[in-house]
A = this chain, B = another copy of it.
Amino acid sequence: MQKYNVLVADDEPEIRNAIEIYLKNENMNVFKASHGLEALDILEKEDIHLIILDVMMPGLDGIQTTFKIRESRNIPILMLSAKSEDTDKILGLTVGADDYLCKPFNPLELTARAKSQLRRYTHLGHYKASEDEIEVRGLVLNKRSKTVLVDQEEVRLTATEYKILELLIEHRGRVFSIEEIYEKVWKEPYFNGENTVAVHVRRIREKIEINPREPKYLKVVWGIGYKIEK
């Protein structure tokens, strides 16, 4: 069996060590860093398969580190954050992370999520992109060719429209706030009052829905955001 290398970056030594124990238990190699810069350093030298990052760290924090990593690589990142009332907010901040978990977390859940990320590797150790083709109720999105079919018919989406739809479809069933969508797609902070996402949603609906006023795929969840029905 493949032995995976996992990098854990957290400024709290207890958490770092606890995670190390859980992961070693699952037969993984663990590299530890106490802040973002150290993590980036290890990342250059070692063949890391998964990064577990704490949001809150002195110096380069988890979010900045994610941006840095994403500039050059597509390694899976699992973000950790302190439990907060406003989970959605944190979720919005974790742009670029592949998954996230609130502290205090359940060790079983941590290892389960870590393994789920690692499952995306082939036996050669190469990172395997998640499924190329996603189908949901007659709507087929192909990530490789970046095309969308609705009932066998190809639909021409613009680049931004496609990105929004891909985001929603990849996590179908989950609700994304307008802010979250904006920050994930545009990769810049969202200022309240902007109407852009709504307009793009309208345009996407125009193209993929039979009746844009009664959307079958791209649904609104009032006061929360948008989602693709599972």
Contacts and interface: CB of A to CB of B under 8 A. Distances in A.
Interface of A: 14-15, 18, 83, 85, 102-107, 122-124, 126-129, 144-147, 156, 158-160, 173-175, 187, 221-224, 227
A123 B17 CA distance: 13
B124 A224 contact: no
Given A83-B129, A129-B83, A158-B222, A122 B105 contact: yes
Contacts of A145: 173-175, 227
| Top-8 shortest CB links A-B | A104-B126, A159-B223, A102-B129, A145-B174, A106-B128, A145-B173, A106-B122, A107-B123
Contacts of A127: 104
Contacts of A160: 223
Nearest to A83: B129
Contacts of A83: 129
A222 B159 contact: yes
A224 B160 CA distance: 10
B221 A146 contact: yes
Contact of A129 (B105, B128, B223): B105
28 contacts: A14-B124, A15-B124, A18-B124, A83-B129, A85-B187, A102-B129, A104-B122, A104-B126, A104-B127, A105-B122, A105-B126, A105-B129, A106-B122, A106-B128, A106-B129, A107-B124, A144-B174, A145-B174, A147-B173, A147-B175, A156-B221, A156-B222, A158-B222, A158-B223, A159-B222, A159-B223, A159-B224, A160-B223
Nearest to A162: B224
Contacts of A102: 129
If over half of A's interface residues share one DSSP class (helix, strand or loop), that class is named, otherwise mixed; here it is: loop
B107 A126 contact: no
Contacts of A146: 175, 221, 224
Nearest to A219: B156
Contacts of A227: 145
Contacts of A15: 124
A34 to B, nearest CB: 18
A126 B144 contact: no
Given A14-B124, A15-B124, A106-B129, 6 more contacts: A85-B187, A102-B129, A104-B129, A107-B123, A145-B174, A147-B173
